[in-house]
């Protein structure tokens, strides 16, 4: 018996495998993440507001044992009050 040759019809194509499709989707998602989200994250990390005091810088300040009260129920030191006033003026100026 002679072997018959199979002819592929030109209209039919083999469907791409699921692994190939998932790989292309992951590659595209990585590219989009790198091009879109990374610059936003870097901008957020490098352009922080200098008006807000950092935690360790505030810890070094001396505070009185009994802060004075002004009748409003808030126990703020003078430096805390100035920092709060500065923050309110800055945020209100927008």
Question: What's the rounded Cα separation, in Å, for the pair 18 and 13?
Answer: 15
- For residue range 6-45, list pLDDT tens digits in order: 665 666 678 889 999 999 999 999 999 899 888 888 888 8
pTM of full prediction above 0.75? no
With contact defined as beta carbons under 8 Å apart, do 87 and 52 qualify? yes
Question: What's the rounded Cα separation, in Å, for the pair 81 and 63?
Answer: 12
With contact defined as beta carbons under 8 Å apart, do 61 and 69 qualify? no
- For residue range 56-87, list pLDDT tens digits in order: 555 555 555 555 555 666 788 889 989 989 99
């Amino acid at each position: 018996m002679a072997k018959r040759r199979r002819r592929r019809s030109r209209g039919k194509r083999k469907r791409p495998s699921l692994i190939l499709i998932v790989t292309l989707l992951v590659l595209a998602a990585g590219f989009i993440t790198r091009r879109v989200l990374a610059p936003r994250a870097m901008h957020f990390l490098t352009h922080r507001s200098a008006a807000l005091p950092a935690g360790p810088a505030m810890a070094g300040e001396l505070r009185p044992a009994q802060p004075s009260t002004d009748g409003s129920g808030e126990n703020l030191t003078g430096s805390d009050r100035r920092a709060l006033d500065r923050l309110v003026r800055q945020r209100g100026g927008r």
